[in-house]
Amino acid sequence: MTSREQEQLGRRLMTALCLPASLAVLNALALSPFLSEIARDLDTSVALLGQALTITGLLGATFGLIIGPAADRIGYRRLMLCGLAALIVCDLGTAIAPSFPTMLLAQLVGGFSAATITPMAYSIIGTRVEGEGRRRAIATIYAASSAGNIIGFPILSTIGDSFSWRWSFVAIAVAAAFGLVLAAFELPRDTPSERSPLRFATVLATYRPLVRHERMRLIYTAQFLRGVAWTGMLTYLGAFATDELDASIRLTGFLWLMISPGFMVGSLLVGGRLRRVNPRGAFALTTTAMGALIGLMLVWQPSIPATFALLFVIALFGGIAEVAAAGIVSSETPAPQGATMSLHSSVLRFGTATGALIGGGLLALGGFSLLGIGLPVVAALGGIVGWLSGRPSAVTVPRAEPVRE
């Protein structure tokens, strides 16, 4: 095979990974623009829909802990295809849902797809690419997910305005079907790394090296704390803009358009100009800076143009930190890639849920000023823990032998 053919093969593989990952992220946020309309159609409340999404996210995070060990036995490609099939079922089920319970059931299926698609994409990269190429590939997938939001949300909103919110989910299902066909043809055949049966003991055995490995424990903890600060801001950004900055609902919607481009630029920097920078240093610095800017925005309460600029930089720092941590986890793991990246995804999801809860508590106790003090503290702790994960004293534990029964 010539070098040009290898390059084309690599591009097709990255496309087959980036498209599903982008759709998974887009689908996780797709309900947000239509919550009021969906609530009216299904005769329920926006608050109930929001709580349903939180429950779905927590279930997806919990289920993700099983996905990793299962993937190392079943195969990453097979689970990626199953995740895409579940995404299609989720969106079609949401589109035709006659009631809230039916839609909730469809979204629970979507929780399986969310717990599967993105971790499997990173796992495939972790087994196929080494060194700088791995870090660059992970950054590319993150950037593609952000680009998917930039392109996808205007399309979904246009479809929803012109026809119905239901057709927006049909559009995602059609794109997921295309992604399923592409993945079936382009993803490499599975070579499972584990042969032992999937039992409770084997699940524990899979994660034991990660739990015992000090550096991995610390970087996972750092990612959790970063996720708390990041989501604590995002969850209440709309209320901050309308209540504190007197922004219109339409203008508040445009604030979200600054987040995905900033995150995408940060992701690309990790795989480009920052590729030779110490990833732990990059994580610690950008996580702390992200928190400081969140605090500045919430306490200072600047003008709308200044808020736009701050959000872009906050998202840029967030993108750098998240991709840097994902690269560290994938490169230094003592466990199979499936378990490693699934745990990474679950940690972020638990951080997301915790961020919404902590942010709500701070907001209730002291308003946006207290939120602007608490979130930077959490982010700074995340930066410190991330930096400490590179200490020479951190121990390395060999891979655990698979449990045989």
> Where are the chain's structural domains?
1-198, 206-391
Query: Torsion-angle region of residue 161: left (phi > 0), alpha (psi -120 to 50) or beta?
Result: alpha
Give the total residue count for the chain: 405
pLDDT at 181: 94
Q: pTM higher than 0.75, yes or no?
A: no
Q: Judge if 1-198 and 206-391 fold alike in CATH terms.
A: yes
Residue 299: how many other CB atoms lie within 10 Å? 15
Q: For 188, how many CA atoms within 13 A lie in the half-sphere containing its CB? A: 16
Interatomic CA distance for residues 93 and 111, integer angstroms: 13
Q: Residues 6 or more apart from 47 whose CB is under 8 A from it?
A: none
Torsion on CA atoms 75, 76, 78, 83, rounded to nearest 10? 140
Q: Which of 228, 211, 217, 216 is nearest to 380 (CA)?
A: 228
Interatomic CA distance for residues 216 and 200, integer angstroms: 22
In this predicted model, what pLDDT tens digit does every residue of 238-281 receive, in sequence order? 667 777 887 765 566 567 677 878 888 888 888 777 777 888 99
Interatomic CA distance for residues 268 and 261, integer angstroms: 11
Q: For 268, how many CA atoms within 13 A lie in the half-sphere containing its CB? A: 11
Superfamily of domain 1-198: MFS general substrate transporter like domains (1.20.1250.20)
DSSP string across 50-71: HHHHHHHHHHHHHHHHHHHHHH
CB 369 within 8 A of CB 361: no
Domain 206-391 indexed as CATH 1.20.1250.20: yes
pLDDT at 87: 94
pLDDT at 267: 81
What tokens does 393 get?
A: 């004293």
Going by the DSSP 8-state scheme, the letter that residue 34 receives in this structure is G
Query: What stretches in the chain show pLDDT beneath 50?
Result: 1-2, 5-6, 9, 394-405
